[in-house]
Structure 1
Amino acid sequence: MDKELSLRDIDRIIEMAWEDRTPFAAIEYQFGLTEADVIRLMQRELKPGSWRRWRARVQGRKTKHQALRQEEVGRFKSDAQRQITYNKIAKKRY
């Protein structure tokens, strides 16, 4: 993970990682971080107990891995998630 991330980006990645229906592929698409990068970021940024809870929660969870998802699992989109328009990712203004 050689990419410099702002505190805002790190917060958003953590939020997306906690969301059950947001796959790692969405994080990779938006921020360029692989699943392994997200795991390292979470371990570095979370308290030890929170890290263990998150890791137990996502390990093997089908909704976090797009290839394992069932068709009836819809796509969840948080209000804070960036909008994609005309093949560009527009940043949400706060």
Structure 2
Amino acid sequence: MNRLHVALSESDISRIVEMAWEDRTAFEAIEAQFGLNESAVVDLMRKHMKASSFRMWRKRMAGRTTKHLALRSPAVQRHRASHTRQA
């Protein structure tokens, strides 16, 4: 299901943008949590960022293997933000 057709809250959008900027957060993690595939994340980023910021993000993401689970090394572990609770 593509959630672009479903209204996302401002906090959801903020979290998706944050996750998309993080090097170690794969697009698959965003899809699992919010139901947005990579192209939907790109569309969301384009819509909610200034054009120059979007271009900078796209340039940064181009070819970054850590953004795709199937391409990245097993040595790359999931990033856990310092403000989240460790189990």
Alpha-carbon offset, residue 58 of structure 1:
0.7
Within-5 A mapping of 1:1-94: 1-79=4-82
Deviations 1:45-88 (A, max 9, x none): 000110000000111100001100101111112256699xxxxx
CA shift, 1:3, in A, is: 1.8
1:90 corresponds in structure 2 to none
Q: Distance in 2 between matches of 1:81 and 1:20?
A: 17
Q: How many residues align?
A: 83
The structure with more strand, counted as a fraction of residues: 1
Q: Which runs of 5+ in 2 are unaligned?
A: none
Aligned to 1:89: none
| Structure with greater helix share of residues | 2
TM-score, with length taken from structure 2:
0.88
Among all aligned residue pairs of Structure 1 and Structure 2, give the percentage whose two residues are the same amino acid: 53
The change in CA–CA distance for 1:42 and 1:80 in structure 2 (over 3 A counts) is farther
Structure 1 runs not aligned, ≥5 long:
84-94
